[in-house]
Amino acid sequence: MAAGLTVVVDYGLCNIDSMLRALEECGARDLERARDPRSIEKASRIVLPGVGSFTAGMRNLNQLGLAEVIRHRSADRSVPFLGACLGMQLMAGSGTEGADEGATEGLGLVPGAVVRLDRKSDSERIPHIGWNEVAQADGCALFRDIPQGSDFYFVHSYRVDLQDPRLEAGRTDYCGGFTSAIALHDRPIFGTQFHPEKSQKHGFQLLRNFLAL
């Protein structure tokens, strides 16, 4: 398991220590925390975690020269990519969180925009914090050996509004329902709105599944 270099992208916003520890525990032996585009160029797998705003995240990725190399490597059908929480949101084409006006361009790995969650009842709170179920799409490699409807840990106020609903690999019934996992059909590119590194047993199984790709 986990042959080759797994790179966790450090773009100055996210608390990536827990992701690094979780990946190591799940079997990643050749593991690197990277801000250097050259590290991403040689990676066998790329993980983009994240905590913070969309606009600040893209600003840092661009300033560090990481956005373009992530786009380039993600076009390679042999390089698995996982975006988690803000990392999944940055996969979208655009987002407004943290922008003074208009929208900020994202990585564009999936067609769609990042929009704020919209409360549908008084019992729902934003940010959405805590454990919630994920209804899995059939056949997604990320969810292998994970029971349908398992709980994962969320911390977010925004969601990805996909242009192509066929890319939705998981959905969570909160604020009218939102995409909680993404899987491209032609490349090993995945996203989770939840934090797998903080989701205990099922989150660690998901990371093991990713490392096995």
| Residues labelled catalytic | 85, 195, 197
The encoded tokens of residue 125 equal 């709170």
Task: Report which of 18, 81, 7, 100 is spatially closest to residue 51, judged by C-alpha positions.
Answer: 18
Task: List the 104-105 sheet strands across, edge first.
Answer: 104-105, 94-95, 112-116, 158-162
The encoded tokens of residue 20 equal 């690094």
Task: List the 31-34 sheet strands across, edge first.
Answer: 31-34, 6-9, 45-48, 81-84, 189-192, 178-183, 168-172, 135-136
CB-CB contact of 118 with 176 (8 Å): yes
- For 37, residues 6+ apart whose C-beta sits below 8 A from its C-beta are 64, 65, 66, 68, 69
